[in-house]
């Protein structure tokens, strides 16, 4: 840090299991990636190339190489897996992961209907090849999954070999974990946390008010995702009680 300040919550060192910041890159240029890493690389644990943007993003190999040289794992959004799945081309998806030297992959069913056994079988298979993150929750705001089902799916997917389960919110933070207004489904999150260890979950929380809510509930070292590249420094101050929203939260005197 740039100077000393007392009563700052401790952040774990990278690589860490708790306190992860997953950033969504939805089409940064190579130069923007370099600028982003200069500012936020040390606070960023994972980068997701949002949904299927990797299909159209220019200079994909070069972009992956820049993240790799900064030691930051990158994966393609779960929607890309779903795009291959719906076409019956999951074997081809596995070849794409190989071709690009991917070490992480996301498996989700936010835009498709997929039986949970089938999803778990993909998690089992893919986790032989890469570290798997699996996402729970629909991208369809009309589809409200009750808490017991979130818990059941998260447990099954972790048992099938997922390294972390991700709670769906999309880029906007207005589905899945959240109501269409962006308000947290508090009862849902609290119930999930009674059954699933907090370090096993990454909560998609793109909006500032959502990040604040999770830091207050879980603590400075909550795992959050879908953070915009230019919000990482802001998030770090929220985690440390150095923005108005969490200013009093960590003070002991
Ligand atoms: C974040 C999104 O998708 P994915 O989880 O596939 O990256 C989205 O569609 O807003
Ligand atoms: O489960 S809730 O609080 O919508």
ipTM of the complex: 0.79
Q: Is 187 in the pocket of ligand 2 (CB under 6 A)?
A: yes
Cα 170 from Cα 133, distance rounded (Å): 15
CATH fold for domain 21-246: TIM Barrel (3.20.20)
Mutation pick for ligand 1 pocket among 53, 86, 226 (CB with most ligand atoms within 8 Å):
226
Residue 252 confidence (pLDDT) = 87
Cα 109 from Cα 86, distance rounded (Å): 10
Ligand nearest to C-alpha 180 = 2
Expressed in angstroms and rounded, the spacing between residue 88 Cα and the centre of ligand 1 is 20
Ligand nearest to C-alpha 112 = 1
Expressed in angstroms and rounded, the spacing between residue 19 Cα and the centre of ligand 2 is 24
Nearest protein Cα to ligand 1, atom 2: 170
Q: How far is CA 16 from CA 21, 46, 53, 54, 133, in A?
A: 10, 11, 27, 26, 15
Ligand nearest to C-alpha 176 = 2
Expressed in angstroms and rounded, the spacing between residue 110 Cα and the centre of ligand 2 is 19
Expressed in angstroms and rounded, the spacing between residue 112 Cα and the centre of ligand 2 is 24
Residue 168 confidence (pLDDT) = 97
Q: What is the pLDDT along the chain (253 residues), one digit of tens a residue?
A: 999 999 999 999 999 999 999 999 999 999 999 999 999 999 999 999 999 999 999 999 999 999 999 999 999 999 999 999 999 999 999 999 999 999 999 999 999 999 999 999 999 999 999 999 999 999 999 999 999 999 999 999 999 999 999 999 999 999 999 999 999 999 999 999 999 999 999 999 999 999 999 999 999 999 999 999 999 999 999 999 999 999 999 998 7
Residue 64 confidence (pLDDT) = 98
List, chain by chain if needed, residues with CB within 6 Å of any ligand 1 atom.
48, 50-51, 77-79, 139, 170-171, 226
pTM equals 0.97
**Residue 224's beta-bridge partner residues?**
21, 203
Ligand nearest to C-alpha 187 = 2
Expressed in angstroms and rounded, the spacing between residue 83 Cα and the centre of ligand 1 is 12
Nearest protein Cα to ligand 2, atom 4: 185
Domain ranges (residues) in the chain: 21-246
Residue 106 confidence (pLDDT) = 98
Length of the chain: 253
Residue 211 confidence (pLDDT) = 98
Expressed in angstroms and rounded, the spacing between residue 50 Cα and the centre of ligand 1 is 5
């Amino acid at each position: 840090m740039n100077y000393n300040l007392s009563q700052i919550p401790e952040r774990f060192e990278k690589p860490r299991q708790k306190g992860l910041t997953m950033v969504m890159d939805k089409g940064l240029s190579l130069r923007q990636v370099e600028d982003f890493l200069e500012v936020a690389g040390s606070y960023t644990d994972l980068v997701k190339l949002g949904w299927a943007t990797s299909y159209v993003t220019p200079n994909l190999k070069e972009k992956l190489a820049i993240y790799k040289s900064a030691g930051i794992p990158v994966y393609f959004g779960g929607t890309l897996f779903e795009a291959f799945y719906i076409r019956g081309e999951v074997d081809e998806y596995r070849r794409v992961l190989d071709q690009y030297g991917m070490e992480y992959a996301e498996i989700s069913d936010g835009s498709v209907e997929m039986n949970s056994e089938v999803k778990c079988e993909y998690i089992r298979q893919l986790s032989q090849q890469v570290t798997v993150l699996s996402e729970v929750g629909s991208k369809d705001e009309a589809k409200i999954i009750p808490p017991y089902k979130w818990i059941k799916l998260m447990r099954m997917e972790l048992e099938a070999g997922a390294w972390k389960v991700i709670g769906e919110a999309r880029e906007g933070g207005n589905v899945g974990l959240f109501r269409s207004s962006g308000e947290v489904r508090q009862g849902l999150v609290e119930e999930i946390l009674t059954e699933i260890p907090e370090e096993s979950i990454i909560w998609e929380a793109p909006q500032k008010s959502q990040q604040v809510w999770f830091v207050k509930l879980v603590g400075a070292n909550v795992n959050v995702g879908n953070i915009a590249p230019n919000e990482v420094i802001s998030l770090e101050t929220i985690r440390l009680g150095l923005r108005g929203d969490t200013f009093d939260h960590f003070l002991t005197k």
